[in-house]
Amino acid sequence: MAYQITEKCIKCGGCEPMCPVGAISFDGEKYKIDASKCVSCGMCASVCPVGAPVSE
């Protein structure tokens, strides 16, 4: 199951460079994960200081 970024996100940007498939992007307001690219590796969740990325 793909990860998604919840409202807990503090926009620190730590997750984006950790994604091995480039599924995370910032749209100017918040970070998003493209579910069609996400391989559910959990790297984003492992670096997030507030636990914003969660598995759907």
Q: CATH number of the domain that 31 lies in?
A: 3.30.70.20
Q: In the chain, how many domains are there? A: 1
Mean pLDDT of the 43-54 span:
98
| 56: pLDDT strictly greater than 90 | no
Q: Which pLDDT belongs to residue 40?
A: 97
Of the chain, the percentage scoring pLDDT greater than 90 comes to 96
Q: Please list, in sequence order, all residues whose beta carbon lies within 8 angstroms of the beta carbon of residue 43, skipping any fewer than 6 positions away.
A: 15, 18, 19, 20
Sort 7 into a burial class: Cβ within 10 Å, 0-12 / 13-18 / 19+: exposed
Computed over every residue of the chain, the mean pLDDT equals 97
| pTM of the predicted model over 0.85 | yes
Question: What residues make up the domain containing 30?
Answer: 3-55
| 11: pLDDT strictly greater than 90 | yes
